[in-house]
Amino acid sequence: TGNAAAGILTAAITMGGEPMPTRSTLSEEYNGSTWTAGGALNNGRAMGAGAGTQTATLFFGAFDGATTYAYTESYDGSSWTSENTLTTPTRQLAGAGTETAGLAAAGYNGTAITAVSEEYNGTSWTAGNSLNTARNKLSGDGLQTAAFVVGGDTGSASAAMEEYDGTDWTTSPATLGTARATLAAA
């Protein structure tokens, strides 16, 4: 549990997770019919978020069982490289976008649920506008300029959806049929 994913049905990747008692450095790639081992992450962790494709992946945010981190790593299809970190250590966040235009949204910073968003330009993260509702354990997808987040934990399970246009977050009239948290996306 606690792993992240990116890619498409015939070229997906999953990374990190919680095989207790340590956090995983594993990544696995899916070709549409079978899973095979991918390169090892530099830092074992769980509860991060993913963005991009199987051969151009971004993995960010982290939890090692004790500490929340701001780690960011990129994947070229064979090996992981440490990149500039998020500006705020975050876990249980949503991810969207690509390896060179990523989006991190909301999450838990180690002391509180947040509404923070950050944008990645292929080199570094910068603060974006905040979501309307702080939440963690949410799902997100899309591009940096056309993304959404849905569900999550706001103190209780949420059905709410917010859309991002690259500048502002807007609460959508569309909601999940059932409020829920601890979601994932790819």
Q: What is the pLDDT of residues 155-169, one digit of tens each?
A: 999 999 999 999 999
End-to-end CA distance of the chain: 15
Residue 180 burial by Cβ neighbours in a 10 Å radius (0-12, 13-18, 19+): middle
C-alpha distances (whole Å) from 69 to each of 6, 59, 66, 88, 96 are: 20, 12, 10, 8, 19
Cβ pair 173, 162 in contact under 8 A: no
Cβ pair 104, 117 in contact under 8 A: yes
Q: 46: helix, coil or strand?
A: strand
Q: What is the pLDDT of residues 113-154, one digit of tens each?
A: 999 999 999 999 999 999 999 999 999 999 999 999 999 999
DSSP secondary structure letters along 63-95: E-SS-EEEEEEEE-SS-EEE-PPPSS--BS-EE
pTM attached to this predicted model: 0.94
Helix (H) or strand (E) holding 15: strand 11-15
